[in-house]
A and B are shown apart, each in its own frame.
Chain A
Amino acid sequence: GAGVSQSPSNKVTEKGKDVELRCDPISGHTALYWYRQSLGQGLEFLIYFQGNSAPDKSGLPSDRFSAERTGGSVSTLTIQRTQQEDSAVYLCASSLFGGTYYGYTFGSGTRLTVV
């Protein structure tokens, strides 16, 4: 597609429920990233996929968070047993060859509110 597409744009969920956030990267981009933006923590790296390599999960804050990328394209970020501190905007980005020379294109984000 023309840009990075994320859905839903807004999600309100009850504490303890599971949520799935979707990211559809730019066609042909081999690298995909998830970031979280919250008032207290700024922009935090969560996870990175590059081609068929094992993902870099070093930024995931707890084992309640997981992500997968199917067929080298669409990615889903899953948060299990959501907590109020999970409330944030979740941003997805994609890049060509890891972003070094071409930069990173961000989606419009999913605003998650846990009540």
Chain B
Amino acid sequence: ELKVEQNPLFLSMQEGKNYTIYCNYSTTSDRLYWYRQDPGKSLESLFVLLSNGAVKQEGRLMASLDTKARLSTLHITAAVHDLSATYFCAVSTGTASKLTFGTGTRLQVTL
């Protein structure tokens, strides 16, 4: 059974600081997704990582994928308050393409 673990579960950080969220998964996969969820809202797609060594950046967020280590990271650079949200990683395997989600990381950026 595929398991996806994220850490930390909760992250409080000051504006301007850097930090990394980690996503480990248990089964071979080369398809990993990052989503953002604001309170009471749905999931917003951030990144789609499809191959080993893939790196994508959007603004202050950068995601990478190491399929050999079964690890993805979401790096936050110089955090701003607007980045406060819950971030989920998800892995897709097999022909069914269903997503298995991590537990989520609630990010709180304080002024």
Contacts and interface: CB of A to CB of B under 8 A. Distances in A.
Partners in one complex: yes
Interface of A: 31, 33, 35, 42-43, 45, 48, 50, 56, 58-59, 91, 93, 95, 98-109
A59 B99 CA distance: 11
Chain B, interface size: which category? 20 to 34
B7 interface: no
A33 B98 contact: yes
A48 B43 contact: no
B45 A108 contact: no
Nearest to B88: A43
B43 A91 contact: yes
Contacts of A100: 31, 50, 92, 97
Interface stretch (B19-27, B63-71, B72-80, B100-108): B100-108
A45 to B, nearest CB: 5
A59 B100 CA distance: 11
A101 B48 contact: yes
B99 A104 contact: yes
A100 B101 CA distance: 15
A22 to B, nearest CB: 15
Contacts of B96: 48, 56, 58, 98
Contacts of B88: 43
A104 B100 CA distance: 13
B33 A104 contact: yes
